[in-house]
Amino acid sequence: MTQQTETMTKPITEIWAKRPVIISGPCSAESEEQVLQTAKELAATGKVDVLRAGIWKPRTKPGMFEGIGVKGLPWLVKARQETGLPIAVEVATARHVENALQFEVDILWIGARTTVNPFSVQEIADALKGTEVPVLIKNPINSDIELWSGGIERLFKAGVKNVGMIHRGFSNFGNTEFRNAPMWQLPIEMKRRYPGMLLICDPSHICGNRTGLASISQKSIDLGFGGLMIESHVDPDNAWSDAKQQITPAVLKEMLSNLVWREESSEEQEFLNALAKLREQINQIDDELLSLIGQRMKVADQIGQYKKDNKITILQTNRWNEILSKAFKKGEKLGLSQDFITKYFDAIHMESINHQNKIMND
Ligand code: PEP
Ligand code: MN
């Protein structure tokens, strides 16, 4: 035991309640030296609250580095003693939970490939019964919010009191800008379902590269996320896993310093008054928009009746293309993206079709 160098670790409840909470460390623990060096450099930034490191690595393909295993846990314990940083590891089985608890790991997290499997989540939840350890659950790799939510419920049912969520993006086919598409509407919905629950963004696994980390982190802060989990490594280019997305502790420090942190709300009266006025305008506009859409559907109903009487199909592709191209042009002038116009008109069009379908078949 390195008694002389031991630093006090803050109580985990304090860390859990801190906003923002910053978790960082290597994708995988590789050697004692790598873990200790990374931990020391992270602690020296003064900006990191928790040290993370993967001990068991779920890799997509066999033959990739699958984690150092239990022998890496004492390295993390030593890093905690020397830096005072609490430690976090990923668990995927009851055995992992058992091993992690033997070493008094402070925070556990459930990986994206595990959240998809209710059997695995249940096994982990059962292994956690009667313990106090906080657990973070990553979103499943597929964009199924009920699986994510189901995982949380399983942990609650097992009596885990401190449950948090990590948004790490969703698998997609083909090359896109992201390794895992953020699909922000999903974490936003989870924040709505679980108000007050810690929600952390993991920009490393969303981006899969270093260049996008800052903007994804900022976006999550702007949306009111409670913290970040970012992979860091003393020698990122030579990391044994996820080399492309890891950054050095020095780069992390610089990035964190440049982020604009925001409060969830303000007590300042002037701000609250201005906000209330603008929100009243938004409410009015939303109200008018809905009335107009209702009117539009009434017209669509009438057209449906004519189509029915004249035995004409509901879908008129030429007409639809005409509407869309006009809307793109107008949208551009108004600063509305093509993506938005497409989604908006798709929704309107589907509702019109459903209305007309009803009329035709009534
Ligand atoms: C990780 O955090 O290193 C990891 C494997 O992440 P995910 O479960 O999000 O793929
Ligand atoms: Mn990783």
Share of the chain above pLDDT 90, in %: 87
Q: What is the CATH number of the domain that holds 336?
A: 1.20.59.10
DSSP structure string for 164-186: EEEE--B--SS--SSSSB--THH
Which protein residue's CA is at the shortest distance from atom 1 of ligand 1? Answer: 27
Which protein residue's CA is at the shortest distance from atom 8 of ligand 1? Answer: 111
Note whether residue 182 is domain-resident: yes
Cα distance between residue 136 and residue 211, in whole Å: 26
Does residue 318 share a domain with residue 200? Answer: no
Does residue 207 share a domain with residue 133? Answer: yes
| Number of domains within the chain | 2
Q: What number is the average pLDDT over the span 326-341?
A: 95
Say if ligand 1 is within 6 A of residue 138 CB. yes
Q: Is the pLDDT of residue 4 over 70?
A: no
The beta-carbon contacts of 149-158 under 8 Å, at least 24 apart in sequence, are: 149/190, 149/193, 150/118, 150/121, 151/110, 151/115, 151/118, 151/121, 152/194, 152/197, 154/118, 154/121, 154/122, 154/125, 155/121, 155/125, 155/128, 157/125, 158/125, 158/126, 158/128, 158/129
User: Which ligand is closest in space to the CA of residue 24?
Assistant: 1
Does residue 223 share a domain with residue 83? Answer: yes
Q: What number is the average pLDDT over the span 304-330?
A: 90
Which protein residue's CA is at the shortest distance from atom 4 of ligand 1? Answer: 111
Q: What is the pLDDT of residue 195?
A: 94
Does residue 174 share a domain with residue 45? Answer: yes
- Give, rounded to a whole angstrom, the gap between the first and last alpha carbons of the chain: 80
Note whether residue 325 is domain-resident: yes
Does residue 73 share a domain with residue 214? Answer: yes
Q: Is the pLDDT of residue 1 over 70?
A: no
Note whether residue 113 is domain-resident: yes
Note whether residue 5 is domain-resident: no
Last residue of a domain, one of 258, 284, 318: 258
Does residue 233 share a domain with residue 318? Answer: no
Does residue 327 share a domain with residue 242? Answer: no
Q: What number is the average pLDDT over the span 70-88?
A: 98
Does residue 140 share a domain with residue 62? Answer: yes
Q: What is the CATH number of the domain that holds 209?
A: 3.20.20.70
CA 116 to centroid of ligand 1, rounded, Å: 13
Q: What number is the average pLDDT over the span 62-85?
A: 96
Note whether residue 1 is domain-resident: no
Note whether residue 2 is domain-resident: no
* Band (58; pLDDT cuts 50, 70, 90): confident
Q: What number is the average pLDDT over the span 73-100?
A: 98
Tens digits of residue pLDDT in 13-38 = 999 999 999 999 999 999 999 999 99
CB neighbours of 266 closer than 8 A, spacing ≥ 6? 272
Note whether residue 4 is domain-resident: no
Last residue of a domain, one of 230, 258, 286: 258
Mutate-to-test residue for ligand 1 from 60, 120, 138, 167, highest number of ligand atoms within 8 A of CB: 138
Does residue 331 share a domain with residue 187? Answer: no
Q: What is the pLDDT of residue 167?
A: 98
> What domain range includes position 27?
12-258
At residue 140, the 3 state secondary structure works out as: coil
Say if ligand 1 is within 6 A of residue 168 CB. yes
User: Which ligand is closest in space to the CA of residue 112?
Assistant: 1
Q: What number is the average pLDDT over the span 161-184?
A: 93
Q: What is the pLDDT of residue 2?
A: 46
CA 59 to centroid of ligand 2, rounded, Å: 9
CA 272 to centroid of ligand 2, rounded, Å: 41
Does residue 199 share a domain with residue 177? Answer: yes
Does residue 183 share a domain with residue 63? Answer: yes
Share of the chain above pLDDT 70, in %: 98
Q: What is the pLDDT of residue 173?
A: 83
Does residue 88 share a domain with residue 221? Answer: yes
Say if ligand 1 is within 6 A of residue 54 CB. yes
Last residue of a domain, one of 258, 284, 315: 258
Note whether residue 3 is domain-resident: no
Q: What pTM was estimated for this model as a whole?
A: 0.86
Mean pLDDT of the chain: 95
Say if ligand 1 is within 6 A of residue 111 CB. yes
